[in-house]
Every structure is written in C-alpha cells, then in structure tokens.
C-alpha cells in the first residue's frame, strides 16, 4: 500500500533524508569526506527528481488552458503537452549549446554549427490568447551549419498499443522574426528499424503567432507487429540564419484512423 506523503511518517522520512544530505555536504565542505562517484550520481538523480517535482507542482498552479480542455478529433485516446510549456524549468536556457545538448528532460537541440551561435530558452507567455503558461524561444545568429532541429522524446504512454491504425496529430503555435519553413518529423523505433514520417508545418512561419496542425498517418509507415521501443519528434528549421523562432505551445494527440 502506498504511503500517504502528508502523513507523519512520510514527513519524517523526508526530513531525515534531508538532514543526512546536509551532513554529507558539510563534511565535503570541511574536507573531512571525499564523495565517491556513486554518491555524486545519487545526488544528481535526487536533484533531477526534485526539479521535476517542482516543475510539475508549479505547473499545476499555473493559469492557461489545460490540455484536457482542448478540442481533439473524435476517438482521441492520448494527448500530451510537454512539461516545459506548463511549468518553469531550471535552468531556463542554454547558450552556445553542444550538438545534442539537452534542456531539461524533454528536449534536445541538434545542429552542426561550428560556432554554436545559438540560444535556447524558456520564456513566460504574456498574451491573453496564449493557451500555455510558458513558451520556448530559439535564437539563431550567424548560423554556418547545415541542419538545426529540436528533438522531443514522447512519453511511454504514447507508445502503448500503437499501431498502423493510429494517427498522431501535432498542434503548434509559433512565430518567427523572419520567414522560415519548419518541418515535423516523427520517428518510430522498433528494434533495429526506425520508420520516419516527414510533414511540413504549412506555409513559412513569420510575424504574429499562428497555429499549425499536421497529422502523421501511421498507416503509411512500415510497422511490424512488435512493440514500439521509442517514439520522438524532430522540429526541423530550414535555413535558420539570423532568425528567432518562438513556440508558444505544442500539443500532441493520438486518434484512430478511419476504416476504409
């Protein structure tokens, strides 16, 4: 039986754990203890778990339209808004990132720009029409690379019973300082094979925030009967030189395709 986190025992267990970490930190600062790799890994895991808890708890208290209240096609059985659009992240951004560097637990930035002239950061959405409390802004300076993309890992429940009878739907709200073409690429990994579905997010993005919706019909993917091991989405930015793109919302959902 799960323990009630608000019970006396639950509070005491957390308080004793915090006291132990305080003593360990004091011993390290005093030079009387040298932490081993395993202890540092435990501390990093704890910091990550605490950051995720704080982000989720603060997201629950934020204003905005919850994903459950949005309109979806009939038969939708899964819907998801990444946590970065709902709650504050720590750290909130990164400058001159390495290829594949992650911001939080959900997103990674991939590029081959030798000067790493990029900034990716979370920002507060301030317009009355924004549906999510937070957005994501990507600033690109003198880009000398050949590719730039944001990669989002979809949660495990998106893969449950996933088959060729499903359609994955991507809804975004985005804007850019200069016209830019954005693509969505869905990647479906089954063992050694990875199926890819590429869709352009409509006309080039520019100016004020616009909503774009694309669908990935898995009926056109060569899926086997085995379970899906990994599912992720790439947002690919074409010719991003001297531009800034802001995502004020991103929501994915899943529904069944019509029988023909």
pLDDT at 1: 47
Q: Are 229 and 188 in contact (CB under 8 A)?
A: no
**DSSP reduced 3-state for 152:** strand
CA-closest candidate to residue 115, choices 90, 140, 83: 140
pTM of the model: 0.76
pLDDT 10s digits, 172-226: 999 999 999 999 999 999 989 999 999 999 989 887 888 999 999 999 998 888 8
Q: Are 242 and 178 in contact (CB under 8 A)?
A: yes
pLDDT at 3: 54
157-188 b/e (C-beta count within 10 Å ≥ 16 → b):
ebbeebeeebbbbbbbbbbbebebbbebbbbb
- Tokens 């909503």 label which residue? 211
pLDDT at 139: 96
pLDDT at 15: 79
Cβ neighbours for 34, distance < 8 A, ≥ 6 positions apart: 28
Residue 164's DSSP bridge partners are none
Give pLDDT < 50 ranges for the chain: 1
pLDDT at 43: 74
CA-closest candidate to residue 233, choices 146, 177, 116, 155: 155
Domains and CATH numbers, the chain: 8-60 (no CATH), 74-256 (2.60.120.260)
pLDDT at 45: 73
């Amino acid at each position: 039986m799960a323990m009630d986190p608000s019970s006396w025992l639950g509070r005491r267990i957390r308080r004793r754990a915090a006291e132990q970490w305080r003593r360990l930190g004091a011993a390290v600062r005093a030079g009387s203890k040298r932490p081993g790799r395993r202890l540092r890994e435990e501390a990093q895991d704890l910091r990550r778990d605490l950051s995720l808890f704080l982000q989720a708890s603060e997201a629950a208290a934020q204003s905005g339209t919850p994903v459950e209240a949005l309109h979806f096609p009939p038969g939708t059985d899964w819907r998801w808004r990444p946590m970065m659009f709902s709650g504050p992240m720590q750290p909130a951004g990164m400058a001159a990132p390495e290829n594949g560097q992650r911001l939080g637990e959900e997103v990674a930035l991939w590029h081959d720009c030798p000067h790493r002239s990029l900034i990716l950061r979370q920002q507060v959405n301030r317009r009355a029409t924004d549906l999510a409390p937070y957005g994501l802004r990507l600033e690109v300076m003198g880009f000398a690379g050949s590719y730039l993309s944001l990669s989002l890992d979809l949660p495990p429940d998106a893969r449950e019973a996933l088959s060729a009878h499903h359609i994955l739907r991507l809804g975004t709200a985005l804007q850019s300082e200069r016209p830019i073409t954005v693509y969505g690429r869905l990647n479906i990994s089954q063992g050694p094979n990875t199926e890819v579905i590429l869709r352009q997010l409509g006309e080039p993005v520019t100016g004020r925030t616009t909503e774009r919706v694309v669908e990935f019909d898995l009926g056109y993917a060569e899926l086997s009967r085995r379970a899906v091991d990994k599912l992720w989405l790439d947002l690919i930015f074409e010719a991003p030189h001297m531009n800034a793109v802001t995502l004020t919302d991103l929501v994915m959902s899943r529904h069944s395709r019509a029988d023909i």
